[in-house]
Amino acid sequence: MRRGGEQEQPARSRARACKVCRCLLRHGALPLQEIVRRLELSPGQVKNSLLVLIQHNCVQAFNAPRGSGDKTVTHYLAIFDNIVHRQRFSKFLSVIRADIPESEALLEGLLQNGSITPAREEIRMNFNKLVFAHYVERCPKPEPFFDPLVDEQSTSSRKRAPKTVEIALSIDKKVVNTAALSDAERFSEIPYIMEDASNANDSPLSSISGAKRKHNALEGDAELDSTIAENEVLWRANFEKFTFCLKKKFCADRKKPKLKVGTHPIWEAFFEASLIERDSNSVTSPINGIMERLGQKEGGTSMTLDHITRVLEELNCSPSSEDPDSFILDLSRIVEASRNEEIESLVRKKYGQEAFTIFRLLVRERGPVETDKIIDTTILDKQIVHGTLYKLWKDDYIDTERILSGTGTGTGNTQYFVWRVKNTFREQFIDNLCHAALNLRQMVNYIAELLLEGSKDDTKLRNRKNILILALTRHDDSLMLFQDF
């Protein structure tokens, strides 16, 4: 009975944490008492759930003003992107396995614990490799001050200013930006001579992982306060870096099948030599690094500099304006083309080759196209074009507009229709991807529950679960393409 109770308690804690997280995702940022009221849980249960969610970087706490006075209240905000990233841990580990294999175990522990404090001197060298490569960063400020009303007023004043172009950020993005540290603070390495705050713990990862950050975000916990050193620094995985690495790999692999014979080694060497990351939309590689990587490949030593330069330009790699000896590739062009290909592929599967041809024409025209022009360009039968356009319009992929013209013969005006890709078709596609991912995840969770309960068909259930997890992993590639790349 005692052992069963010990197994049941973590399950209940996870269920409460999921309940709190679901509440924050549905209702936005909320103070502690409001979460308690909505979920009808005790303050202690909600507090413990928030501790877990903050440690695993799923929730960010921030202070907001209460009323018109100087008092503030702590709100808790679910970070949607970080929650979604949890299903990508295996992909993140594959990045480290290829780049810094000796630090893979450290990263795995970091991902499992949410945040850690390296407690032993011998592991700090491998940990600093992760920090130096920006795979790991220091945790953000535990309780930054953010006033939504002041931010809204400043945004409104900027909108009234002439010739001001600004990308609108959501509240959660603004809170995350407010909590973020500077790059110098985020990636400051651990000194090798450092007082060990946990000599009693033989584990390479501190047993009080995440404690200080959780304590700062939740007031009044005297027990935690007495066990945490003031100089403790907490670290977490840098999801931006891993996303960029996966984006680079995606773009490199996506274009490989379309490359000419003999250009594959240069294309691979270009990505392998990229050490400078100026932004998340481009890859920059020095020509010397490219030639060095080529020298390690079969046939690479026989390639001349002129030949390499010419091939790089054919691959849309242009000389960098900041460094003439480096080449830069715009990843956003590959990503945009890949997104269009994904949607066009869906249109082909759902409506057929004719619809694929028409939809691709409308996407590439990027504007209204007359019906007669569609017929002439696609060389399709008139009735097929009209029927296909109606199907695409009915399912909100395209939009139409009737144009009146006074150039017709006789007394009446002529009319014709123009067609364009609907602005919301991509959002609709992403919604469908998210719903499909949710359905797959719920099916995996349901089978996991059946396995915990015990069943005669355990082998069959495990096989089905593995198939669903594989399908979810592949589906997530498309989700990352549209949401993260």
Given this model, what pLDDT does residue 213 score? 47
At 93 the pLDDT is 92
Distance between CA atoms of residues 137 and 236, nearest Å: 6
**pLDDT at residue 453 in the model:** 77
Residue 183 CA to its chain's centroid (Å):
20
Say if residue 400 is exposed, middle or buried (CB neighbours under 10 Å; 0-12, 13-18, 19+). Answer: middle
pLDDT score for 409: 53
CB 437 within 8 Å of CB 430? no
- Whole-model pTM: value is 0.76
Q: Which residue has the tokens 């935690």?
A: 224
Question: How large is the C-alpha radius of gyration of the chain?
Answer: 27
**Helix, strand or coil for residue 136?**
strand
State the Cα–Cα distance between residues 323 and 245, nearest whole angstrom.
23
The CATH code of the domain at 352-422 is 1.10.10.10
CATH, domain 9-138, list 3.40.50.720, 1.10.1060.10, 1.10.10.10, 3.30.930.10: 1.10.10.10
Residue ranges in the chain modelled with pLDDT below 70: 1-11, 68-69, 118-122, 149-169, 190-232, 276, 405-415, 455
Going from the C-alpha of 6 to that of each of 1, 9, 161, 450, the distances in angstroms are 9, 5, 61, 20
Q: Where are the alpha helices (DSSP H) in 180-238?
A: 183-186, 211-217, 222-227
Buried/exposed code over 340-351 (b: 16+ C-beta within 10 A; e: otherwise): bebbbebbbeeb
